[in-house]
């Protein structure tokens, strides 16, 4: 029976093997921000490539975009973020731990609507206070609950002292950059409704209680696709998108269906037509991995009002004018990394004790092939192994390792999820064959060097 890893198991492996570090580590860390190390950046890039392939490359109806992090502050006013993008918070007076009041209430089965004022949230909080304990010191002595805006402010372009009153914001979500480029894209790329615009990029939120490792961070990356539809087709397209996104996890990335599920929003914001999240079974239980939402025409009409520019669509055949409705798919890269590591983390107990294997999809694995000379003090083996590394590394991310015995080298590669290890030994010098060892079966086969690329066959997405 595979044992489910704890979040600490994953964080420890991620640090030990160079996937994820605390930001500013040597200065004691920096709350809610993380850095991706040598294997982490490969994993992230591969996940982003997989998403882009699936959402843009093989979709004739979806195009890409890379909009800026800074945008006109008016955008955040029109989108409702300046006035409404806030989380309710209370602080423990004993140990100063801050808690998300809406999350704590939700755990108690009490729903706090996003649109509630600070006073209304605080009233709900006070009504339930008897059941609430500080997650850290377990005491019940809190400040009042108050709402805090999540947008991160900056002084960009403002050289006066009052920049906090008229700040430029770091974007709180990537999709606003898509909405405000809808006209540009439509006029320049011959797309016709229904069509989508996809983008991957950083977002920043002043999260009150960043937690659970990379699950909730203050700086993160989002992969978002906004799909523009005729109002009458919104829900039909929405169902198609839900199916497509479900298949991304189960068929494309190979996640187990046991570990993901749909969660329907019970209380929709007034403009939304339908909203589901895909939840993943993280080490701390099922939580939101991705949102798939039908948003009506709210976003474009808000920007139409805010900018004074007409954002409607003229159907070239029917000549009908309308503001397209939008369905969206939005996922955080960090959450996908965490889900991928959780899914892949496998503990194996055998005669040598306990060991870990990251059973990553080969196309997602940071390193595809590790090349070892059997012995590092035999120049002929080293020369041949180095030459092989030189050949393979032009095709895939490879690693060369001549340190320690072969068993130890296999283990190290298992922990970073490398699907194939190749050992150059004395027989290789005679007949140009090597041993190819597979991570998941630990099976070793002898193959010709010239057949390696064909045998591991990793040049296309499966
Ligand atoms: P949550 O309820 O968990 O705060 P949300 O509903 O506010 O998330 P959205 O605004 O819909 O999230 O953002 C879309 C996606 O972006 C989420 O499904 C998640 O994967 C990711 N995301 C949002 N906030 C964060 C964060 N602080 N850290 C990491 N990823 C995030």
DSSP string across 218-276: SEEEEEEEEEEE-GGGHHHHHHHHHHHHHHIIIIIS---GGGEEEEE-SS--TT-SEEE
Q: Using CA atoms, how far apart are residues 42 and 45, in angstroms rounded to an integer? A: 5
> What does 398-423 look like in DSSP terms, one character per residue?
EEE--SS-HHHHHHHHHHHT-SEEEE
Residue 460 has pLDDT above 60, yes or no: no
CA of 186 to the centre of ligand 1 (A): 28
CA of 277 to the centre of ligand 1 (A): 10
Largest separation between any pair of C-alpha atoms in the chain: 80
Average pLDDT over residues 294-302: 96
Q: Using CA atoms, how far apart are residues 364 and 49, in angstroms rounded to an integer? A: 9
> In this structure, what are the phi and psi dihedrals at residue 41, rounded to the nearest 5 degrees?
-70, -35
CA of 225 to the centre of ligand 1 (A): 14
pLDDT at 54: 97
CA of 50 to the centre of ligand 1 (A): 20
pLDDT in tens, 363-374: 999 999 999 999
pLDDT at 458: 67
226 close to ligand 1 (CB < 6 Angstrom):
no
Determine what percent of the chain is predicted with pLDDT higher than 70: 98
**Tokens at residue 367, please?**
């390193």
Average model confidence (pLDDT) for the chain?
Answer: 93
Pocket test for ligand 1, best of 222, 267, 275, 278 (most atoms within 8 A of CB): 222
Between 340 and 353, residue with greater pLDDT: 340
Cβ atoms of residues 401 and 370 within 8 Å = yes
State the closest ligand 1 atom to the C-alpha of 222, by its place in the atom list counted from 1. Answer: 16
CA of 415 to the centre of ligand 1 (A): 28
Residue 1 has pLDDT above 70, yes or no: no
Residue whose CA is at the smallest distance from ligand 1 atom 16: 332
Pocket test for ligand 1, best of 335, 337, 338, 339 (most atoms within 8 A of CB): 335
224 close to ligand 1 (CB < 6 Angstrom):
no
> In this structure, what are the phi and psi dihedrals at residue 52, rounded to the nearest 5 degrees?
-65, -40
201 close to ligand 1 (CB < 6 Angstrom):
no
Residue whose CA is at the smallest distance from ligand 1 atom 31: 332
Q: Using CA atoms, how far apart are residues 422 and 431, in angstroms rounded to an integer? A: 15
Residue whose CA is at the smallest distance from ligand 1 atom 25: 216
Task: Using alpha carbons, select from 168, 143, 144, 141 the residue that is nearest to residue 154.
Answer: 168
CA of 330 to the centre of ligand 1 (A): 8
Q: Using CA atoms, how far apart are residues 42 and 363, in angstroms rounded to an integer? A: 11
Phi-psi region of 280 (alpha: psi -120 to 50; beta: other; left: phi over 0): beta
pLDDT in tens, 213-241: 999 999 999 999 999 999 999 999 999 99
Residue whose CA is at the smallest distance from ligand 1 atom 20: 332
State the closest ligand 1 atom to the C-alpha of 205, by its place in the atom list counted from 1. Answer: 27
- The whole model's pTM is what? 0.91
361 close to ligand 1 (CB < 6 Angstrom):
no
319-323, 349-353, 394-398 — most confident range: 319-323
Q: Using CA atoms, how far apart are residues 196 and 218, in angstroms rounded to an integer? A: 27
Residue whose CA is at the smallest distance from ligand 1 atom 2: 288
204 close to ligand 1 (CB < 6 Angstrom):
no
pLDDT in tens, 16-48: 999 999 999 999 999 999 999 999 999 999 999
Pocket test for ligand 1, best of 176, 216, 279 (most atoms within 8 A of CB): 216
- Please tell me the least confidently modeled range out of 1-5, 129-133, 174-178: 1-5
- Please tell me the least confidently modeled range out of 251-260, 268-277, 286-295, 316-325: 268-277
Residue 249 has pLDDT above 50, yes or no: yes
pLDDT in tens, 54-94: 999 999 999 999 999 999 999 999 999 998 888 888 988 88
| DSSP conformation class of 2 | P
Task: Using alpha carbons, select from 229, 182, 228, 177 the residue that is nearest to residue 199.
Answer: 177
Q: Using CA atoms, how far apart are residues 258 and 247, in angstroms rounded to an integer? A: 14
Residue whose CA is at the smallest distance from ligand 1 atom 11: 291
Between 330 and 2, residue with greater pLDDT: 330
CA of 172 to the centre of ligand 1 (A): 10
Q: What angle do CA 127, 129, 133 make, to 5 degrees?
A: 160
207 close to ligand 1 (CB < 6 Angstrom):
yes
291 close to ligand 1 (CB < 6 Angstrom):
yes
216 close to ligand 1 (CB < 6 Angstrom):
yes
pLDDT at 462: 40
State the closest ligand 1 atom to the C-alpha of 277, by its place in the atom list counted from 1. Answer: 18
pLDDT at 461: 46
């Amino acid at each position: 029976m595979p044992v489910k890893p704890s979040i600490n198991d994953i964080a420890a492996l991620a640090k030990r093997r160079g996937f994820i570090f605390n930001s500013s580590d040597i200065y004691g860390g920096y709350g809610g921000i993380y850095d991706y190390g040598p294997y982490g950046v490969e994993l992230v890039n591969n996940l982003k490539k997989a998403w882009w392939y699936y959402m843009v490359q093989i979709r004739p109806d979806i195009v890409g975009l890379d909009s800026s992090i800074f945008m006109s502050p008016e955008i955040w006013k029109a989108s409702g973020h300046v006035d409404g993008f806030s989380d309710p918070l209370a602080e423990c007076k004993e140990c100063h731990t801050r808690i998300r009041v809406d999350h704590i209430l939700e755990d108690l089965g009490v729903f706090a609507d996003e649109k509630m004022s600070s006073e209304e949230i605080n009233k709900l909080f006070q009504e339930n206070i008897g059941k609430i304990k500080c997650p850290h010191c377990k005491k019940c002595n809190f400040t009042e609950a108050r709402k805090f805006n999540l947008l991160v402010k900056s002084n960009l372009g403002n050289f006066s002292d009052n920049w906090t009153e008229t700040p430029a914001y770091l974007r709180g979500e990537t999709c606003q950059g898509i909405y405000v480029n809808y006209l540009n894209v439509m006029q320049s790329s011959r797309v016709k409704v229904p069509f989508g615009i996809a983008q991957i990029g950083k977002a920043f939120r002043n999260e009150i209680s960043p937690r659970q490792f990379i699950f909730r961070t203050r700086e993160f990356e989002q992969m978002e696709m906004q799909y523009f539809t005729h109002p009458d087709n919104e829900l039909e397209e929405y169902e198609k998108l839900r199916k497509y996104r479900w298949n991304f996890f189960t068929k494309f990335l190979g996640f187990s269906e046991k570990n993901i599920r749909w969660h329907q929003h019970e209380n929709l914001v007034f403009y939304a037509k339908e909203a589901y999240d895909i939840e993943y079974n993280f080490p701390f239980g099922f939580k939101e991995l991705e949102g798939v939402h039908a948003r009506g025409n709210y976003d474009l009409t808000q920007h139409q009002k805010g900018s004074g520019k007409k954002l409607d669509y003229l159907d070239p055949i029917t000549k009908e004018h309308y503001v397209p409705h939008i369905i969206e798919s939005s996922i955080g890269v960090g959450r996908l990394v965490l889900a991928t590591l959780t899914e892949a983390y496998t503990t194996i107990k055998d005669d040598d004790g306990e060991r870990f294997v990251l059973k990553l999809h080969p196309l997602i694995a940071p390193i595809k092939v590790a090349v070892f000379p059997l012995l590092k003090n035999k120049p002929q083996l080293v020369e041949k192994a180095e030459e092989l590394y030189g050949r393979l590394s032009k095709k895939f991310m490879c690693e060369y390792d001549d340190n320690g015995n072969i068993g130890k080298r296999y283990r190290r590669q298992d922990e970073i999820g490398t699907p194939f290890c190749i050992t150059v030994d004395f027989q290789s010098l005679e007949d140009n064959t090597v041993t190819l060892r597979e991570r998941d079966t630990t099976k070793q086969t002898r193959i010709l060097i010239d057949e390696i690329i064909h045998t591991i066959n990793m040049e296309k997405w499966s």
